[in-house]
Amino acid sequence: MNQPTLNIENLQLGFKSHVGMSKVLHGISLNIRKGERVALVGESGSGKSVTARIILGLLQTLPTARISGVLEFEGRDLTKLSAKQRHALRGTEMSMIFQDPTSALNPVYTIAVQFTEVLRRRQPKLKKLLAFEQAAAALRQVAIDEPERVLNSYSFQLSGGMNQRVMIAMALINNPTLLIADEPGTALDVSVQAQTLDLMHKLVQEHQTSVLFISHNLGVVRDFADRVYVIYKGRIVEEGATQLLFSNPQHPYTQALMSAVPRITGGGIPNIPDVSDRYSDPAYIHPASGGEL
């Protein structure tokens, strides 16, 4: 009955190359309940974006990727879905704000055509004109003053910040059950970043959306998330309610991470000291990491 929106157990990922297999995720376990805002934090290259891409089913088609573990979305086994079924979930029940907007926008179609396609996944018979109006309203919510001009443009005709806002509006427009935000608003100024967070809060309050929030900015994480997972070199090393984790971090990596929290939100990437030498003590391994070192 209390089934989480997302349940991941012992997720492992490796990439095969001519020199062998390089392991990137070593048994990640993570869950998100309905209406919960969960953050995933950790240094660059620790495995945050690949985790997000696996949830969306975007890495499964990569011939070099080797993936195993439990992946459940609203009780459904994601590993059993066909590529077509996974595609149908994206942009409707689960959507993602990408770190890089060019991954989400197609340069061959205008923004209006792409919005219409996304909207018709939920409302198959939606008329073009109505789709245009809904898209324009969504763009105004992300502080785009001339939505008509933007809708009639191609992504390469827009600035990086503008494309990012388009992508955010597109990710939110179908009220997804699960929203994954991977470093949302990195290319945006602080006021638009704050607006994006407000929109995400609104989505959670009005639609009980579950959010996986990936960010380097721990000041923002502290304000936004209910619960935090800390990932380090492909392992979850600590997990807990945001306030508790920030006030009483247990793992040395989390302690190092928390000591670098910027006091003012909107700061850059904190400089995290290397704590890898402390990993020789197996007592530090969080059980959720799968216990494999």
Ligand X SMILES: Nc1ncnc2c1ncn2[C@@H]1O[C@H](COP(=O)(O)OP(=O)(O)OP(=O)(O)O)[C@@H](O)[C@H]1O
Q: How far is the CB of 2 from ligand X (least distance, A)?
A: 30
Residues 47-76 binding Mg ion (CB under 5 A) are 48-49
Q: Which helix (H) or strand (E) holds 15?
A: strand 6-17
The vertex-227 CA angle with 222 and 233, nearest 5°, equals 90
Which of 49, 164 has the CB closer to Mg ion?
49
Q: How far is the CB of 20 from ligand X (least distance, A)?
A: 12
To which residue do tokens 């502290």 refer?
222
Rule CB under 6 A: which residues touch ligand X? Answer: 15, 24, 42, 44-50, 99
How many Cβ atoms are within 10 Å of 214's Cβ, its own excluded?
23
Which of 98, 115 has the CB closer to ligand X?
98
According to DSSP, residue 286 is labeled -
Name the one range near Mg ion by CB under 5 A: 2-10, 41-49, 83-91, 143-151: 41-49
Q: How far is the CB of 60 from Mg ion (least distance, A)?
A: 18
Counts of helices then strands in the chain (DSSP H, E):
10, 10
Which of 232, 284 has the CB closer to Mg ion?
232
User: How many whole angstroms separate alpha carbon 197 and alpha carbon 210?
Assistant: 14
Which of 68, 243 has the CB closer to ligand X?
68
Q: How far is the CB of 10 from ligand X (least distance, A)?
A: 17
Q: How far is the CB of 213 from Mg ion (least distance, A)?
A: 12
Tokens representing 135 are 């898209």
Residue 291, contacted partner among Mg ion, ligand X, none, CB below 5-8 A by kind: none
**Contact status, residue 55 vs residue 94, Cβ threshold 8 Å:** yes
Number of residues forming the site for Mg ion (CB under 5 A)? 2
**Contact status, residue 249 vs residue 255, Cβ threshold 8 Å:** yes
Which of 2, 44 has the CB closer to ligand X?
44
Residue nearest to Mg ion (CB): 49
Calculate the alpha carbon distances from 76 to 3, 6, 90, 117, 181 in Å. 11, 9, 15, 25, 22
Binding site for Mg ion (CB under 5 A): 48-49
